[in-house]
Amino acid sequence: KDVIPPLEQLMVEKEGYLQKAKIADGGKKLRKNWSTSWIVLSSRKIEFYKESKQQALSNMKTGNKPESVDLCGAHIEWAKEKSSRKNVFQITTLSGNEFLLQSDIDFIILDWFHAIKNAIDRLPKD
């Protein structure tokens, strides 16, 4: 029988396109590779879709899963020194995954930074 998660966990708080590069997986460094990602923030996780929102919606039928990031115990910080690009911040998960997110547009990256920081601050740390 399906377990229905609490409504607040299903609510999308923010979604949109950003540049994304995953730079570590479980503490292991990865080669940086920037790409555009459709990003969906809800109360305790972020989902990264490789494709456009339209594409992602049609892929749901085929069971194509986005990369999901658990925000419990995660850290967010500006990461000027991690890239030659402007407006870069880093999310580090408890499991040791590291993501850089970037936009050339100042207000877009600021909105995302604060939305994700607020989500993290509202969650238990473990």
Q: Which residues bind ligand I3P (CB under 6 A)?
A: 31-32, 34, 83-85
Cα distances from 23 to residues 32, 44, 60, 74, 95, in angstroms, run 5, 21, 26, 15, 13
Residue 33 identity (one-letter amino acid): N
Instruction: Write out the two tokens for 37.
Output: 């990602």
Residue nearest to ligand I3P (CB): 83
> Could you tell me the smallest distance in angstroms from the CB atom of residue 34 to ligand I3P?
5
> Could you tell me the smallest distance in angstroms from the CB atom of residue 105 to ligand I3P?
17
Rg (CA), the chain: 14
Nearer to ligand I3P among residue 46 and residue 100 (C-beta): 100
Nearer to ligand I3P among residue 101 and residue 119 (C-beta): 101
Q: How far, in Å, CA of 107 to CA of 105, rounded?
A: 6
> Could you tell me the smallest distance in angstroms from the CB atom of residue 23 to ligand I3P?
8
Nearer to ligand I3P among residue 43 and residue 83 (C-beta): 83
Strands 98-102 and 88-92: antiparallel
